[in-house]
């Protein structure tokens, strides 16, 4: 079988419509951008425009990141275009004191939670401004001030951590809720089972969002599970599973709001399956044309969450072309300025590598630090001291 044969074979089985399974999929905005009054979550103009601007900023940031990666100026990026409504809409339904345990494809959440773009872009560069001092893989943010716990690369490990945090919140008598994300591929991990089982037994105040983007790198949905849907898996754990159009930000927001309120009232978890699609590559290291058909991608581009939301806002006369241009221009300027500043910053000092691990560094660690620093600036200087 050639690569092309395999691609054709998979794509004929792949479900691009997102309608696999007979359970209902909630959607609020219709294809023309209209919403029936009874379904409109009645967000204020300010809230709606913040959501819209967050999608735009996330997308503009991503476009720049992929270019910078191709130019060799940053090492790696994980795009999320096509999935912004799914994560921005769910996170928007939280209170500020609630916690988020993301997977790795929710780049809009730090922006939504008011993390300055400079901090995000400093992290791509691992420069002196990066709060993690360049020690982690790029785009593996953690922002304590936003209650956004470190991105997890080992898939679904964040789910068990989220349940632990939810239990801790309850023991501390806080009424905060924890929101955690995984992909369709993440549901096949042991951690998915452990997390959902534990959360169900103890009615932990946690909401799980499975962003079903139909692919796990090159593995299509139908090779991932024999379950009718992802949401149905919740039934086995004794709590509700709901399906929502993940490209419809109002529907996503509404479903998340209900699930979060339920969790906050002590009624236990919910699994939300957001039906969506990754319009770009899995990461900057991936070439999706090797395993996906162009027409499948195109059919999902027609359902771009940004376009759908724009139609809604324009229909409600909350967004004019002039305001839209302003939002896009402001996002471009913001990214340009942050990239410029990030490139002007120094790399973290060599000695910073030995900080933060222990409150009182061990004698061995101090000895190693002194040995390294004694090699002098030429080999242990601020740039390229690694002999590899």
Ligand X SMILES: Cc1ncc(C[n+]2csc(CCOP(=O)(O)OP(=O)(O)O)c2C)c(N)n1
Residues that bind ligand X (CB under 6 A): 105, 153-155, 182-186, 189, 213, 215-217, 278, 282
- For 201-226, b where at least 16 C-beta lie within 10 A, e where not — what string? eebbbbbbbbbbbbbbebebbeebbe
Rounded Cα–Cα distance for residues 272 and 25 (Å)? 11
Shorter beta-carbon distance to ligand X: residue 28 or 182: 182
291 belongs to the catalytic site: yes
**Minimum CB–partner distance for residue 84 and ligand X (Å):** 13
278 belongs to the catalytic site: yes
**Minimum CB–partner distance for residue 346 and ligand X (Å):** 31
105 binds, among ligand X, Mg ion, none (CB under 5 to 8 A by kind): ligand X
**Minimum CB–partner distance for residue 308 and Mg ion (Å):** 20
Strands (E), 82-175: 99-101
Q: Which residues bind Mg ion (CB under 5 A)?
A: 183-184, 213, 216
115 binds, among Mg ion, ligand X, none (CB under 5 to 8 A by kind): none
Q: Give the total residue count for the chain.
A: 388
Shorter beta-carbon distance to ligand X: residue 11 or 368: 11
* Active-site pick, 59, 113, 278, 303: 278
The bridge status of strand 178-183 relative to strand 99-101 is parallel
**Minimum CB–partner distance for residue 176 and ligand X (Å):** 26
* Active-site pick, 59, 87, 282, 303: 282
> What are the backbone angles phi and psi of residue 180, rounded to the nearest 5°?
-135, 150
- Assigned token pair, 304: 């771009």
Shorter beta-carbon distance to ligand X: residue 130 or 211: 211
111 binds, among Mg ion, ligand X, none (CB under 5 to 8 A by kind): none
Asked if 73 and 127 touch (Cβ cutoff 8 Å), the reply is no
* Active-site pick, 52, 253, 291, 312: 291
Nearest Cα to 40, choosing from 260, 248, 243, 209?
A: 248
Asked if 233 and 241 touch (Cβ cutoff 8 Å), the reply is yes
Largest CA distance in the chain: 70
Shorter beta-carbon distance to Mg ion: residue 205 or 280: 280
Residues designated catalytic: 278, 282, 291
């Amino acid at each position: 079988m050639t690569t092309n044969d395999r691609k054709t074979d998979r794509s004929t089985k792949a479900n691009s419509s997102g309608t696999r399974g007979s359970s209902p999929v909630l959607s609020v905005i219709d294809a023309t951008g209209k919403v029936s009054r009874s379904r409109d979550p009645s967000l204020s103009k300010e809230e709606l425009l913040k959501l819209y601007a967050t999608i735009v900023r996330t997308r503009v940031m991503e476009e720049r990141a992929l270019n910078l990666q191709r130019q060799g100026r940053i090492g790696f990026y994980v795009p999320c275009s096509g999935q912004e409504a799914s994560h921005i809409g769910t996170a928007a339904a939280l209170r500020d004191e609630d916690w988020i345990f993301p997977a790795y494809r929710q780049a809009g959440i730090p922006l939504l939670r008011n993390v300055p773009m400079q901090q995000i872009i400093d992290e791509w560069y691992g420069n002196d401004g990066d709060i993690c001092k360049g020690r982690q893989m790029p785009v593996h943010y953690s922002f304590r001030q936003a209650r956004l716990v470190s991105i997890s690369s080992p898939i679904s490990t964040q789910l068990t951590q989220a349940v632990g945090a939810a239990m801790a919140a309850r023991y501390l008598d806080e009424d905060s809720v924890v929101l955690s994300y995984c992909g369709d591929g993440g549901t096949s991990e042991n951690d998915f089972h452990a997390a959902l089982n534990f959360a169900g037994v103890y009615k932990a105040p946690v909401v799980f969002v499975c962003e079903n983007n139909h692919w796990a790198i090159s593995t299509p949905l139908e090779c991932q599970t024999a379950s009718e849907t992802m949401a149905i898996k919740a039934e086995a754990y004794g709590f509700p599973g709901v399906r929502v159009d993940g490209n419809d930000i109002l529907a996503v927001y509404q479903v998340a709001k209900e699930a979060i309120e339920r969790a906050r009232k002590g009624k236990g978890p919910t699994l939300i399956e957001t039906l969506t699609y990754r319009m770009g590559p899995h990461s900057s290291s991936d070439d999706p044309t090797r395993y996906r058909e162009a027409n499948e991608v195109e059919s999902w581009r027609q359902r771009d969450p940004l376009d759908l939301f724009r139609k809604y806002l324009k229909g409600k006369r909350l967004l004019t072309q002039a305001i839209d241009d302003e939002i896009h221009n402001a996002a471009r300027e913001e990214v340009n300025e942050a990239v410029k500043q990030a490139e002007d910053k120094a790399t973290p000092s060599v000695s910073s590598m030995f900080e933060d691990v222990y409150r009182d560094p061990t004698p061995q660690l101090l000895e190693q630090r002194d040995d390294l620093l004694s090699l002098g600036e030429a080999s242990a200087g601020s740039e390229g001291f690694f002999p590899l």
